[in-house]
Amino acid sequence: MKSNRMSEANTTVRNMLVIGFIAVAVAFVLMLVRGISGTGGDHSRTASRHDIDVLKKTDSSLLLNVKMKIINPSIGDLSALAVDGDDNIYVGGETAVEMLDINGVHVHCFVVAESVRCLSISPYGEILVGLSDHVEVYHKNGGRKAAWESPASNAVLTSIASTSNYVYVADCMNKIVWLYSVSGELLGRVGEKDADKRKVGFVVPSAFFDVAIARDGSLWAANPGQHRLEHYTSDGRFISYWGRPGLDAEGFCGCCNPSNFALMPDGSFVTSEKHIVRVKVYDSECKLKGIISGQEEWNKDALGLDLAVDSKGRIFVLDPQNGRVRIYSRNCI
């Protein structure tokens, strides 16, 4: 039986998803009315419905020439994805983590206490598993090494990223990135709101809030309600940001996107968006290179498209609605 604590956390996530659906609907209407229709009344409502349908159609001129293959993990209820330094694939599900090789062949699986919320593989090969409100650390063979204390009583973890010195944990409920030592000591908070210094902080209307590490060890974090990615030093000092709201392919539409992102070996960015599903690639100068996959290739209710990239630049996209992982590859993505 799940604990009351876990049930409360799951209820919180469900509530945030509901709020997110409502927020995205409102955001689409506002963006469409302001940015497209320019008129009121019934014509405006008709135009909005039409333009949402138009947005769901991917501009074929922007599609990148990629090859896709699919692997099918053996565990169910997929919710998290990671790739290690040897290009092995890890997926998290309801109460388990599974490791597969690049061909999708099962290597091993181990059980955890509750649903996996997020995953990261440390430079030391340890598996960092984000559960509802805390992180657990596992050896590669599946033996548990440590369980860290929850950073807050109401924490809801959504993403983990790790370096040889730090571990970063995104918390959508507290709208903060928690900064840990690799041994699990809580060191601080990244991206905290500060009205006196005009720092907006992270705007997180739903349960999607991602972090990733650059090659130089610095931190990138999504600010989905601001439609951008933010760059921080390894110890959490703000550097810069890029991204904007927009109905065009280069912008991020809806209430709160990108929902997930990852960094390529060459410094390019891969992003995924929810509700109008798009997986896109931006170059290291933050300019759109093209679209990997558009709404036409996904279930209409597709959510939780976690992303990972391996050493060869292959892009891994979690497809939780169909219980699989998509792998996209191309020599010049």
CATH code of the domain covering residue 109:
2.120.10.30
pLDDT tens digits for 245-282? 998 999 999 999 999 999 999 999 999 999 899 999 99
The domain in which residue 295 lies consists of 60-329
Q: Which residues contact 42 (CB under 8 A, 6 or more apart)?
A: none
Kindly report, residue by residue over 188-232, the tens digit of the pLDDT. 999 998 866 668 899 999 999 999 999 999 999 999 999 999 999
Q: Is the pLDDT of residue 17 over 60?
A: no
Residues whose CB falls within 8 Å of the CB of residue 100, separated by 6 or more in sequence, listed in order? 71, 73, 88, 89, 90, 91, 106, 107
According to the model, what pLDDT value does residue 11 have?
53
Q: Mean pLDDT across the stretch 170-185?
A: 98
CA separation (Å) from 246 to 184, 220, 252, 255?
A: 39, 21, 5, 11
In a domain, 95, yes or no: yes
CA distance 254 to 183: 38
- Report residue 84's pLDDT band, with 50, 70 and 90 as the boundaries: very high
User: Has residue 181 been placed in a domain?
Assistant: yes
The number of CA neighbours under 13 Å toward the Cβ of 55 is 27
Residue given tokens 């006196």 in the structure block: 196
Q: Residues 292-333: pLDDT tens digits?
A: 999 999 988 899 999 999 999 999 999 999 999 999 998 655
pLDDT value, residue 296: 95
In a domain, 138, yes or no: yes
| Alpha-carbon separation of residue 327 from 3, 60, 81, 229 (angstroms) | 36, 20, 12, 23
Residue 58 vs residues 242, 249, 298: alpha-carbon distances, Å? 23, 9, 12
Does residue 20 lie within any of the structural domains? no
Count the domains in the chain.
Answer: 1
Alpha-carbon distance of 316 to 64, in angstroms, equals 15
- Residue pair 327/292 in contact by the 8 Å Cβ criterion: no
pLDDT at residue 104, rounded to an integer: 97
52-70: per-residue pLDDT in tens? 677 789 999 999 999 999 9
Residue 36 lies in a domain: no
Residue 48, domain member (yes or no): no
156 is a domain residue: yes
pTM attached to this predicted model:
0.86
Asked if pLDDT for residue 44 goes beyond 50, the answer is no
The band of 13, judged by pLDDT with boundaries at 50, 70 and 90, is low
Is the dihedral angle over the CA atoms 16, 17, 22, 27 positive or is it negative? positive
Q: How confident is the model at residue 50 (pLDDT cuts 50, 70, 90)?
A: low
In a domain, 233, yes or no: yes
